[in-house]
Homo-oligomer: A and B are copies of this chain.
Amino acid sequence: MQKSTARGVLVQKYGGSSIATSEMMLQVADRIRDCRNDFPKIAVAVSAMGKTTDQLVSLANQVSDQPRGREMDLLLASGEQIAVSLLGLALQAKGVKAISLTAAQCGIQTDGVFNRAKVRSIDTRRLIRELETGHVVIVTGFQGITNIDEVTTLGRGGGDITGAALAAALEADVCEICTDVDGVFSADPSVVQNARLLKNLSYEEAVELASSGAKVLHPRAAEICMRHNIPIHVRSSSHRQEGTWIRGGTSAMEEAAVVGVSSDHGLIKVTLRSVPDKPGVAARIFRDLADADINVRLIIQNAGAQKQARITFILELEYLEGASDLFEKWRQDNITSDSIIERDVATISIVGSRLSSTPGLAARMFAVLHHHGINIDCISSSEMKISCVIAGNYLKQAVQIVHEEFFNSQKR
């Protein structure tokens, strides 16, 4: 990212639920006006208002069986364009100098992958010019522009990525993610009644929590801020209390390693059988998936009999159609004998900074699930996360008992 020399920059991102109505828009404008007392320079990324994106998708489905690609991005981008214009007008009506910019106008360059573009760079010249002339700059979240002026969108949660990319490009003091919850919790509060608000997280913990189902923050946003060492503050847009700070080198808990329980549902599990157990095959499979822009959530490979392996991976349902074309290709290329698809699977994960060096924690997770009769289908673990694949209909109970085990049990 091209760097600025600006100091004292606040970047805020407001999600669609925080600006769902014109009244909420006016409240957000008040909030931004108040923030000027602390920060001379403020850039704000906003998502589309409330259910706007869903309504646009619904319109698209009314005129096309498979609305996607270039025109779909142009359609969806209008949602953020409406939001930035209205927020700009609201700020101006309150006497705050403000200017609303599209991704094209503020130079957010992406690659050309429609519907799931990645930010490549931000040309900060106009941003800095507007900030230096005293404007609050309102930027369309979730979208970008290619080098041939095509409008792209960044995929679900892309507003967070815009916020983080702006914070990085402007070397912001902080990237505030203003949302409809109070911060990041130790588990989904709608599932676990006594879930705890986490005051501090490390970037790595935030990435792992976010990428395994905590929808508060996009993992890419945490990664971008980590790379540029910009603190993230996830907080409520409806009050001024502090939420969750995400910074380098901090962890929510010094004693216990588990900082949160995250989960994800509505996934599909694909098992490729009789995969030749030789170098390069797995690489080929995952390169094909990447080339088709299919995000793989979890990968589990078991060595099988007679030089044959079994490769399992977890996908979101939306990628099934694209993946199915690959399954057929792999079968023809003798990479697999067949593929087994299971729907409605879920993942439950514990996340923390020293998980792998404390094997007893994984054992406790497996034991409590087993104790309640919940079958663990697959296990995947990393330095900071242990994930179990289970049947979707057990997920809610699993989250409750695993959270109870690590956060309220007397055993700890």
Instruction: Give chain A interface residues in 166-198, CB to chain B under 8 Å.
Output: none
A63 touches B89 (CB 8 A): yes
Q: Which of A69-77, A360-368, A385-393 contacts B (4 or more CB under 8 A)?
A: A69-77
A105 within 8 A of B: yes
Q: Roughly how many angstroms separate A66 CA and B89 CA in the complex, as a whole number?
A: 9
Instruction: Give chain A interface residues in 34-84, CB to chain B under 8 Å.
Output: 56, 59-60, 62-67, 70-72, 74-75, 77-79, 81-82, 84
B65 touches A82 (CB 8 A): no
Chain B residues positioned under 8 Å from A72 (CB to CB): 85, 89
Q: Please give the distance in Å from A133's CB to the nearest CB on chain B.
A: 14
Q: Which of B66, B78, B92 contacts A82 (CB 8 A)?
A: B78
Chain B residues positioned under 8 Å from A22 (CB to CB): 59, 62-63
Chain B residues positioned under 8 Å from A89 (CB to CB): 60, 63-64, 67, 71-72, 75
20 A/B residue pairs, CB under 8 Å, sorted by A: A23-B62, A59-B82, A60-B85, A60-B89, A63-B87, A64-B90, A64-B93, A65-B93, A70-B100, A71-B88, A72-B85, A72-B89, A74-B85, A74-B88, A74-B100, A75-B81, A75-B85, A75-B89, A78-B85, A102-B151
0/1 per residue, A90-132, Cβ < 8 Å to B?
1011000011101011000000000000000000000000000
Q: Please give the distance in Å from A62's CB to the nearest CB on chain B.
A: 4
